[in-house]
DNA sequence: CACCGTTGTATCAATGACGGAACAACGGAC
DNA sequence: GTCCGTTGTTCCGTCATTGATACAACGGTG
C-alpha cells in the first residue's frame, strides 16, 4: 500500500493542478500552445480555454501572439514562472511527506490548550496538534521530523522549542546512498515503541550511531499530528 | 491563493480517497450500505460496486448480512478501521504541510552526494534533498520544521542530526491561541532572509522570545527540499 | 403466508469532459 | 498575391461516470 497525493493551488474556486503545470511547462518548452497541446495529446481548443480559465483566477500567465515570422506563438509570463515554482515546492513537500516513514502511537488526550494537546502514550506524555474533541487518538511522528542528539549534548528542555524529547537506543541503522533510517527502541513505563529518524550519513557518522547506541530524540509539537480513533 | 491537497492510498492500481473514506464512515454510522449511500446522495448500486473494488485491492473491509431481524446490514471490519486510521493520518499530515508557511530561498547547488545537495544561498551554505541535475534551485523550509534555541544552549554541530544552523534575530512574535509564528531575520554575507518558525507559546515563553532577541534556528537537511528553477 | 428492510445484480438515461475538425484571422516571407 | 504556422472560436461525436430504477433473494416477525 502506497500513499499518493495530488497537489493543487486554488484561487477563486479554480484549481491549478498537475495537468495545468504540464501544459505551462510544455508551452515554455515549445513556445506555442499548438505544439504543447499536440505534445501532450490534448486538444488545442481545450488547452486554450483552460489557459483562459486559469488566467481569470491566477492573473496573467501567458503572452500570445498571432502571425509574424514564425507564425505566432505563446510565452510564459513571470507570473507563470512564479506559479510553477510555487507548485513545484508544494509538490515536493507533499511527496516527501507521503513517502516518509512514520512512528504511530496510540494515546489518550489528557490536557488541551487550543489546538495543542498533551497525549498520554506508552512512552510517556507527548505534545501534538490535535483536532477538537478528540479523546482516543493516534499520533504520527514522521522520520524527517525526528532530530537525534548525543545524550551528553542534547539541548536542555528550556533552551529549545522542540517540546518532545525521548531517550532510546539504536536498534538498526539502515544506510542508503546519502541518508539513513535510524530505528530506535524507546522504553516507557507502559510499554515500548519503535521510532524511526531519517538523517544524513554525515549525522550517523558524527554522532557515532550504531546498534545499541544510546540516543536522545527530539521532535516538535507543531510537527506532530494527532487524529481521532474510532472503532 | 491557497494550497489544497487530495490524499490517496494506493494498492493494485486502486486508489482509496476521500469519497471512499466518507462511504466507510457513513456505513459505520448507519450500519448499512443503503442508508449510507442515501445519506451521501449516492446510488446504492455504485456504492456496493465500489466496496467490491476496494476489497479486491485492500482486503476485507465490510461484513454484509442480508435478512434478519433488522432486514440485514453492513459492518466495518478491523481492516477497514486500520485503513481509515491510516488515511486520517495521511490527510492530517498533508493538510498540515499544505497550510504551513515557508521560507523560500534561491540558491545554487555547489556539491551533490546522492540525493543530498549543498546549496549556496544568500545566508550561507545549506543542506537539502534535491532532484538530480538541478543547478539553480529554490529551497523551501517550512515553519513547522524550524527549531529555535537560546544561543548559549544551542546543540553543537557534532552532537545533533540537524545539519542546518543559522543565527538570527526575532523580528516579530505573532501569538495565536496556543502556538505562535516567530519571524526571524538572518543576515548573511550575500544578503538577508526572513525565516518563520511555528512554535508553542510555551516555547516562546521559555526561550523568552521577543522582538530583537537573538536566536539560533536549526532545521534538518532531510526536511528541507530543493526544487529546480527555470525561466 | 405477507411484510419488512436489507443485500445482490443488472440496465437505462443523463451529464460532463474531452479530442477532433474546421473556418476565420493575423503578420511575416517570398 | 500565395503560403506558412500560429492564435481565436465554434461545433460535433465519443466515452466514462454516475444516479435512478427494478427485480430477485434473504431471514426474521406476526
Identify the residue whose Cα has the smallest distance to the C1' of D29: B69
Long-range contacts of A12-19 (CB under 8 A, 24+ apart): A12/A56, A12/A57, A13/A57, A14/A53, A14/A54, A14/A56, A14/A57, A14/A58, A15/B4, A16/A54, A16/A57, A16/A58, A16/A83, A16/A87, A18/A91
Instruction: Say whether A161 and B200 touch across the interface (CB within 8 A).
Output: yes
Per the CB < 8 Å rule, is A1 touching B8? no
pLDDT of B231 higher than 90: no
The residue whose grid cell reads 531519517 is A198
User: In CATH, what class is A102-228?
Assistant: mainly beta
Q: Assign B46 to helix, strand or coil.
A: helix
Percent of chain B predicted with pLDDT > 90 = 90
From the alpha carbon of B38, which nucleotide's C1' atom is closest? Answer: D19
Domain ranges of chain A: 9-99, 102-228
pLDDT of B174 > 80? The answer is yes
Q: What is the CATH number of domain A9-99?
A: 1.10.10.10
- A132 CB neighbours strand D below 7 A: no
Report the nucleotide nearest the CA of residue A44, measured to C1': C19
Cα dihedral B46, B52, B56, B61 sign: positive
A46's grid cell: 481545450
Å between B46 CA and nearest CA of chain A: 24
User: Residues B176-206: pLDDT tens digits?
Assistant: 999 999 999 999 888 999 999 999 999 999 9
Residue B3 · residue A16 · CB < 8 Å: no
B171 has pLDDT over 80: yes
Span B53-84, pLDDT tens digits = 999 999 999 999 999 888 999 999 999 999 99
Using an 8 Å Cβ cutoff, are A135 and A111 in contact? Answer: no
Count Cβ atoms within 10 A of the Cβ of residue B120 and give its class: 0-12 exposed, 13-18 middle, 19 or more buried.
middle
Residue A189 Cα, gap to closest chain B Cα (Å): 25
Query: Which uninterrupted H or E stretch holds B171?
Result: strand B164-175
Burial class (CB in 10 A: 0-12, 13-18, 19+), A143: buried
Distance from CA of B44 to the nearest CA of A (A): 24
Q: Tell me the pLDDT tens digit for each residue of B79-119.
A: 999 999 999 999 999 999 999 999 999 999 999 999 999 99
Pseudo-torsion of CA A228, B8, A98, A2, nearest 10°?
110
Q: Is the CB of A34 under 7 A from strand D?
A: yes
Q: Which of A92, A222, A230 sits opposite B198 (nearest CB)?
A: A222
Q: Estimate in Å the CA B43 to C1' D22 gap, whole number.
A: 14
User: By the 8 A CB rule, do B23 and B36 touch?
Assistant: yes
CB-count exposure of residue B68 (10 Å: 0-12, 13-18, 19+): exposed
Q: Kindly list the residues from chain A whose CB atom is less than 8 angstroms away from the CB atom of residue B91.
A: 227
* Contact flag, residue B66 CB and nucleic strand C, below 7 A: yes
- Give yes or no for CB of A161 within 7 Å of strand D: no
Chain D: nucleotides under 7 Å from a protein CB? 4-11, 18-22, 25-29
Q: Which of B85, B161, B229 sits opposite A147 (nearest CB)?
A: B161
- According to the model, what pLDDT value does residue A231 have? 56
Model pLDDT, residue A32: 95
Q: Is the CB of B44 under 7 A from strand C?
A: yes
Chain C nucleotides reached by a protein CB under 7 Å: 4-11, 18-22, 25-29
The residues of chain A scoring below 70 in pLDDT are 231
Quote the CA–CA distance of B9 and B122 in Å, as a whole number.
Answer: 39
Q: Do B222 and A200 touch (CB under 8 A)?
A: yes
Sorting pLDDT into bands at 50, 70 and 90, what band is B230?
confident
Residue A202, min C-alpha distance to chain B (Å)? 8
Contacts of A229 in chain B (CB under 8 A): 85
Asked if B68 CB < 7 A from strand C, the reply is yes
pLDDT at A158: 80
pLDDT at B154 over 90: no
Amino acid at each position: 500500500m502506497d500513499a499518493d497525493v495530488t497537489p493543487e493551488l486554488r484561487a477563486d474556486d479554480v484549481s491549478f493542478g498537475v495537468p495545468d503545470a504540464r501544459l505551462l511547462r510544455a508551452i515554455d518548452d515549445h513556445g506555442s500552445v499548438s505544439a504543447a497541446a499536440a505534445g501532450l495529446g490534448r486538444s488545442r481548443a481545450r488547452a486554450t480555454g483552460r489557459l483562459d480559465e486559469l488566467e481569470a483566477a491566477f492573473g496573467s500567465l501567458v503572452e500570445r501572439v498571432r502571425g509574424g515570422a514564425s507564425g505566432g506563438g505563446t510565452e510564459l509570463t513571470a507570473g507563470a514562472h512564479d506559479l510553477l515554482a510555487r507548485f513545484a515546492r508544494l509538490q515536493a513537500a507533499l511527496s516527501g511527506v507521503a513517502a516518509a516513514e512514520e512512528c504511530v502511537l496510540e494515546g489518550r488526550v489528557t490536557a488541551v490548550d487550543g489546538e495543542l494537546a498533551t497525549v498520554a502514550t506508552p512512552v510517556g506524555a507527548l505534545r501534538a496538534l490535535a483536532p477538537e474533541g478528540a479523546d482516543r487518538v493516534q499520533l504520527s511522528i514522521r522520520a524527517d521530523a525526528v532530530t537525534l542528539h548525543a545524550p551528553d549534548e542534547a539541548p536542555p528542555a528550556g533552551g529549545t522549542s522542540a517540546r518532545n524529547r525521548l531517550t532510546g537506543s539504536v536498534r538498526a541503522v539502515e544506510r542508503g546512498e546519502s541518508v539513513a533510517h535510524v530505528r530506535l527502541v524507546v522504553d516507557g513505563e507502559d510499554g515500548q515503541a519503535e521510532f524511526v529518524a531519517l538523517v544524513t550519513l554525515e549525522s550517523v557518522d558524527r554522532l557515532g550511531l550504531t546498534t545499541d547506541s544510546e540516543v536522545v530524540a527530539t521532535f516538535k509539537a507543531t510537527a506532530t499530528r494527532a487524529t481521532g480513533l474510532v472503532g
